Amino acid sequence: MVNRHVSYYHLANEGIDPQTLQGIRHDQPIPTKTLDRLCRMSECQPGELVEYLEDGKEDM
């Protein structure tokens, strides 16, 4: 989102639910339908927005 200059404010104005935005901020799961919308809005692939980490192996 940062690289594409997409803010949470912009996402909210595009109809992303506030609870979903809160979940994104806190690394909580989001529905695949929301992931689809985020990819369309950001013109990117899902792998550019998410990263798979095994439980207990967070390196970020």
d(Cα 19, Cα 30) in Å, to the nearest integer?
Answer: 10
Is 0.75 topped by the overall pTM? no
**How far does CA 53 lie from the centroid of its chain?**
15
* pLDDT score, position 45: 92
- Under 8 Å CB-to-CB from 45, ≥6 apart: which residues? 39
3-state helix, strand, coil in the chain (%, to 5): 45, 0, 55
pLDDT at 4: 73
Over its length of 60 residues, how does the chain's per-residue pLDDT go in tens digits? Answer: 777 778 888 888 988 889 999 988 888 888 899 999 989 888 889 998 888 888 765 555
